[in-house]
Structure formats: C-alpha cells, structure tokens
C-alpha cells in the first residue's frame, strides 16, 4: 500500500509554475530567477486550536504552525524536538497600561527578534544534512544585527560551521562580545576593511569553483523561508497571551525595515490568526508608507537613522506581502496602516515611554510605540489592545539614549556570561586570496 504523504511546496514570486521542496528552498535561500520562495498553499490552522490557543505553550504553538505549513516534510517527533530547541526562550507580552502592551522579542541569545529566525533555520539546515554528508559551511558578513543572530543561532548545531566576517574596529562592544562565542563551531574574522569589503569577500567565495567543490557553502540569507516561518510563532503566542487576559481584538504594531517581521505576521493572519489591524512603523526610510498612500512603489537609497536595523530603502520582503495579497494594494491598506517617524520623534518616543511607563524602549521599539499612538488618534473609538513589538534589547543601542535613561538599562545575563568567553578572532586583509587560503587551510 502506497500512502501519498503531502509535503510543502514552494513557488517563486517571479514564476508561479516553479515547484521547489522546502529543503531546496532552505538551501538555495533564493530561486535562480531572483524572486522569493512562497508556499503554493497557505493552510489554515484547525479552528479548535485557535479557539483554545491560550492553553498552549510557545513550543506547542510553534509545533502546530510548523507542522501545518510543512506537512509531512519533517516527521512529527523530529519537528517537535526541532521547534522546542529553536523556540527555547520566552516572548512575553508586558502590560504598560490598560490598552498598551509591549511584546518583548529580545530574550534570545543575540537580544533581538532575529534569533527566532536564525535558530529555526540553523536547525532545519542541520536536520536536512544527510548522514555522512560533509559539513555545512555558513559564510556571513555581519551587518548591524544579523551577524550575531546567525552566529549564535548556529552555535553548537552539529555538522555546521560558521565563518563570520566583520570589519575590524567597526563593530560595537556588544557585537564583539557576541562574536567571542567562536569557541565551538563559529569562527570570526576581523577584516582590515569596511562592511562592504566583508560582503564582497563572501560573494567572491560563493562564486569560486574550487571552494564550491571542496565545501558545502550556504549564505543563511535573511530572505530564507526558514527565517520567515518561525516569526509567525510569536504572533500566535502573543495573541494567546492577550486572549488569556480577556482581550479579543488585538492590533500589532511592527517596527519594519525589510518587512520580514510584519510579513510573518501577515502570513499568520492568512493562516487564521484573528488580528484586527497591523501597523507598519518605519523610520525615515518610508518606501512602504509612501506606496500605501500613493500607489507608487519607489525605492530610495537608505538614509541613516537611530533605528539603524530599519535603514532599508528597498525592503526585500515586500514582494512576499504583495504576493500574499495577490498584488491588491487596497486589500493590504485595509489591514495594514503605515506610519513613518523621524529621529527627533523617535527620541521623543523613547522619553515618553520612559516617563509614562518607566520602561526603556530601543529606538526601533519606540517607533512601533509611536505608531500605536498615531493609530489611536486616527481611530479614537477603537477599543482593541495595542501591542507593539520590541525587536531588540535597549542595551544594543547605548549611543541613542540620554544619560538618565541609559543609567536605567541593565545588561541581561546572556551578556554577562559572554564576558567570560575568550576573545578569539583571526585577522585578515581584505584581499580574496588570503580569505580563500584561510578557508582551504
């Protein structure tokens, strides 16, 4: 008897006829046509599950979502173990007042929400490596926060090795601490150059025949579908926490740069998460708010702001959102309000949250807070709970805060522990030949 086991299939946003398995999509990151992978079908979660969601834990919720999306791609016992490891830290909703809540997504190893994506992706990749297959080599150039999350996401994951390049002398104290964990399967290289030089070295390595013949290389790219999926987990989990507190109507305000985070929220919505409204909150890099207002999608070079993880002029996940809504801008506008804030407003937002709630919000988080205020002003009769997402711990941005607020930021235990690790880097110039020789050595 042959049983047909259904599995997740993906297409490219540039070619709806393409069919890729989840495994292919994970290892390729991006289809060859440079579109983005999307599931051919967005399955709904069981109504009984949504109706009783407040009785489930975060790993249980994560398992329900992952198994509904992936179908029989990974056997259930393995998938359960995988999500338990990936989502092994809390994502609490903290009450600030009767209608204002903050969803803290910074309790993972790198103190930012990207840990959800990085930890899940690393374990999925390791899972798909066949027995006896060579080591998976992950090459990353650190940008502001992704590098740390990826390095820590792969830390200790069997059969994987991460090589992380960072510009010497140009990363913050905390980033350096996070890169110190390179004792196990992570090695860090201080490159005598800029971030762009690091990125060029990584690109050259991917294009090099000899290196590709010798190693199984992957980029663990930020548009990998295995980073998007686990970001749906915390939306369901936050909704469960709000329901437990008696709220039925929830608004999520999401600080947005590449629109992966809010993209996952919208995927969760399509899978049956009852959300009344989403708010996309940006800094001065406001391509999406302008598009929703005018219908003209015009990317611009990014400008630098306090909320630097959102300094994105061409948000790479936006095509996924358009795809989810079948290119219907009005359908998106009905569900997603979008607002942008200047650095001056961001700083005022940080001060307001501190004075009103005795709470320290990172600049990205403060922007999401400000957006809930604008939304409430425009919708004075809206009685739903406003939940803004806190995407990073404030200690990652010491340069932004006035002294009185800075004094109130305590270093989380994870950081204190990092200080005990030895400082182990290798140092290289910015020429490709040295990097290649290093990899081959």
Which residue stretch of 71-79, 212-220, 253-261, 332-340 sits at the interface with ligand PLP (rule: CB under 6 A)?
Answer: 253-261
- Cα separation of 224 and 205, whole Å? 19
Q: Is residue 391 involved in binding ligand PLP (CB under 6 A)?
A: yes
Q: CB 84: neighbour CB atoms within 10 A?
A: 16
Q: How far is the CB of 246 from ligand PLP (least distance, A)?
A: 29
Residues 255, 265, 289, 349: which binds ligand PLP (CB under 6 A)? 255
Helix-then-strand count for the chain, H and E: 20, 14
Q: How far is the CB of 229 from ligand PLP (least distance, A)?
A: 13
User: Could you give the angle at the alpha carbon of 231 between the alpha carbons of 228 and 232, nearest 5°?
Assistant: 100
Q: How far is the CB of 66 from ligand PLP (least distance, A)?
A: 19
Q: Is residue 392 involved in binding ligand PLP (CB under 6 A)?
A: yes
Nearer to ligand PLP, 149 or 439 (CB): 149
Nearer to ligand PLP, 150 or 242 (CB): 150
Helices (H), 99-230: 114-128, 146-154, 173-179, 195-207, 209-214, 225-228
Q: Is residue 110 involved in binding ligand PLP (CB under 6 A)?
A: no
Q: Is residue 119 involved in binding ligand PLP (CB under 6 A)?
A: no
Q: How far is the CB of 287 from ligand PLP (least distance, A)?
A: 12
Residues 225, 310, 319, 338: which binds ligand PLP (CB under 6 A)? 310
Find the Cα–Cα–Cα–Cα dihedral 440, 225, 237, 7, rounded to 10°: -110
* DSSP letter, residue 80: H
Q: Is residue 282 involved in binding ligand PLP (CB under 6 A)?
A: no
Q: How far is the CB of 222 from ligand PLP (least distance, A)?
A: 8
Cβ contact 215:133 at 8 Å: no
Q: How far is the CB of 290 from ligand PLP (least distance, A)?
A: 16
Q: Which of 123, 124, 170, 114 is nearest to 147 (CA)?
A: 114
DSSP string, 332-347: HHHHEEEEE--HHHHH
Q: Is residue 258 involved in binding ligand PLP (CB under 6 A)?
A: yes
Residues 260, 265, 289, 349: which binds ligand PLP (CB under 6 A)? 260
Q: Which of 164, 209, 211 is nearest to 191 (CA)?
A: 164
**Sites of contact with ligand PLP (CB under 6 A):** 112, 114, 145, 255-261, 309-310, 364, 391-392
């Amino acid at each position: 008897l042959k049983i047909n086991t259904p599995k997740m299939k993906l297409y490219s946003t540039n070619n709806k006829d393409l069919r890729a398995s989840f495994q292919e999509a994970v290892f390729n990151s991006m289809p060859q046509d440079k579109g983005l992978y999307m599931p051919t079908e967005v399955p709904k979660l069981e109504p009984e599950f949504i109706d009783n969601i407040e009785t489930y834990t975060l790993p249980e919720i994560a398992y329900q979502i992952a198994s509904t999306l992936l179908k029989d791609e990974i056997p259930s016992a393995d998938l359960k173990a995988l999500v338990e490891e990936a989502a092994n830290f809390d994502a609490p909703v903290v009450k600030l007042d009767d209608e204002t809540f903050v969803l803290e997504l910074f309790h993972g190893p790198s103190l930012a929400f990207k840990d959800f994506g990085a930890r899940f992706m690393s374990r999925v990749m390791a899972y798909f490596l066949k027995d006896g297959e060579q080591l998976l080599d992950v090459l990353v150039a650190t940008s502001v926060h992704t590098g740390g999350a990826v390095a820590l996401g792969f830390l200790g994951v069997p059969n994987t090795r991460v090589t992380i390049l960072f510009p010497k002398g140009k990363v913050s104290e905390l980033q350096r601490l996070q890169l110190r964990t390179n004792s196990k399967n992570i090695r860090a290289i201080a490159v005598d150059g800029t971030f762009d030089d690091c990125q060029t070295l990584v690109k050259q390595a991917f294009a090099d025949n000899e290196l590709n013949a010798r190693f199984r290389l992957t980029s663990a790219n930020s548009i990998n579908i295995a980073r998007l999926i686990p970001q749906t987990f915390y939306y369901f989990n936050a909704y469960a926490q709000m329901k437990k507190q008696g709220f039925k109507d929830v608004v999520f305000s999401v600080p947005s740069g590449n629109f992966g985070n809010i993209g996952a929220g919208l995927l969760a919505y399509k899978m049956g998460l009852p959300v009344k409204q989403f708010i996309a909150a940006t800094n001065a890099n406001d391509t999406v708010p302008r598009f929703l207002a005018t219908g003209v999608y015009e990317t611009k070079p990014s400008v630098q702001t306090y909320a630097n993880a959102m300094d994105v002029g061409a948000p790479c996940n936006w095509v996924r959102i358009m795809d989810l809504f079948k290119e219907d801008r009005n359908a998106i506008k009905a569900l997603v309000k979008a607002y942008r804030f200047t650095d001056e407003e961001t700083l005022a937002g940080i001060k307001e949250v501190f004075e009103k709630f005795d709470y320290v919000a990172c600049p990205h988080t403060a922007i999401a807070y400000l957006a809930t205020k604008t939304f409430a002003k425009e919708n004075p009769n809206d009685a739903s709970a406003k939940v803004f997402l806190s995407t990073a711990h404030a200690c990652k941005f010491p340069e932004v805060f006035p002294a009185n607020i800075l004094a109130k930021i305590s270093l989380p235990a994870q950081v204190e522990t990092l200080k005990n690790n030895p400082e182990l880097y290798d140092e290289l110039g910015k020429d490709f030949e040295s990097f290649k020789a290093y990899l081959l050595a």
